[in-house]
Amino acid sequence: VLSMLFLLIYLIMVVGNLGMILIICLDPQLHTTMYFFLTQLSFLDLSYSSVITPKTLHNLLTSTKSISFLGCFTQLYLFVLFVAAECFLLSSMAYDRYVAICSPLHYPVIMSTRLCGALLSGSYVIEFMDSSINVLCLRRLNFCNSIAIHHFYCDTPALLALSWSDTHDFEIMLFIVAGSTLVLSLSTISASYLSILSTILEINSTAGKKKAFSTCASHLLGVTIFYSTMIFTYLKLKRSCSLGRDQVASVFYTIVIPMLNPLIYSLRNKEVKNAALRTV
């Protein structure tokens, strides 16, 4: 039953994110900065969920629940890379909404193709370094006392629980790296939305306020769901297996959220729905 549920969610996620990418690419009216970021968000959701879910389904459906040492660290590396890149992508999307609402006349100049490319490539470079440091530090630990990972994928807390090495320094480093990523991206998002809120409150017409709020509602909902589960899971200093509530949170942001994002951004967006009808 669980495997069928996960399979259904995964198929909806694949169809939703690939559909979002195809609709935006095929419709010239959606070739704007906002939808460029949406295609990247769909790509990241599709990528990090595909790193985890197929292997999870395989483990649920077979008696052989194993993964190689190289496969485990590859899974961890790619997962950290894509998820952390999504943090910075969400902050870039918040900045895009800030410019669109607070400086609409200068929007085409500020949000140029060069700036969008720089924001995207910069997020990948930073997280390439972070994920490399994370995996290289884990490789230096000893994993001789147990080979059973108490999780449905290779996550950092679950691997730390297997090591009999002193992991205190690594946990501090992990907390700093993960905390810096979350704080930097959340600070950008918070500053952007505070400025947006201030601008919206200055709008006299009710219709204008409603339009401005609708522009940000989908992104704000996606940010809230994504960051709440990430903070709950990772910003804790402890050495324990990822059981109970931590695993539930992990299921949510590795399998459920990538399915919800295309639904959130498409169902609340008339331009995407109209583009889908034109494409069909």
Which position has the token pair 């459920």?
256
215 vs 100, more confident:
100
Q: Which of 87-91, 167-171, 241-245 is most confident?
A: 87-91
The average pLDDT across 77-88 equals 90
The average pLDDT across 169-175 equals 80
Closest CA to 254 of 78, 131, 58: 78
Q: Are 158 and 149 contacting, i.e. CB atoms less than 8 angstroms apart? A: yes
Per-residue CA distances from 152 to 106, 138, 163, 184, 262 (Å): 47, 18, 18, 29, 24
For residue 18, the model assigns a pLDDT of 94
What CATH number should be reported for the domain whose range is 31-261?
1.20.1070.10
Domains in the chain: boundaries:
31-261
For residue 207, the model assigns a pLDDT of 76
Inform me whether the pLDDT recorded for 1 exceeds 90. no
The average pLDDT across 140-144 equals 76
50 vs 130, more confident:
50
Query: Cα–Cα–Cα angle for 191, 174, 161, nearest 5°?
Result: 135
For residue 229, the model assigns a pLDDT of 78
Q: Which of 188-192, 259-263, 274-278 is most confident?
A: 188-192
Inform me whether the pLDDT recorded for 193 exceeds 60. yes
Predicted structure pTM score = 0.87
Inform me whether the pLDDT recorded for 188 exceeds 50. yes
CA distance linking residue 123 with residue 276, whole number of Å: 29
Q: How confident is the model over 15-54, as pLDDT tens digits?
A: 999 999 998 898 888 888 888 999 999 999 999 999 999 9
Q: Could you tell me which residues come within 8 angstroms of residue 181 by beta carbon, excluding any fewer than 6 positions away?
A: 84, 87, 88, 127, 130
Q: Supply the mean pLDDT for the chain.
A: 84
Inform me whether the pLDDT recorded for 13 exceeds 90. yes
φ and ψ at 183, to 5 degrees?
Answer: -65, -45
Q: How confident is the model over 207-256, as pLDDT tens digits?
A: 777 777 777 877 888 888 888 877 776 665 454 444 556 677 788 888 88
Q: What percent of the chain has pLDDT over 90?
A: 24
For residue 82, the model assigns a pLDDT of 92
For residue 77, the model assigns a pLDDT of 92
Report the 10 Å Cβ neighbour count for 242.
22
- Lowest mean pLDDT across 94-103, 123-132, 140-149, 218-227: 140-149
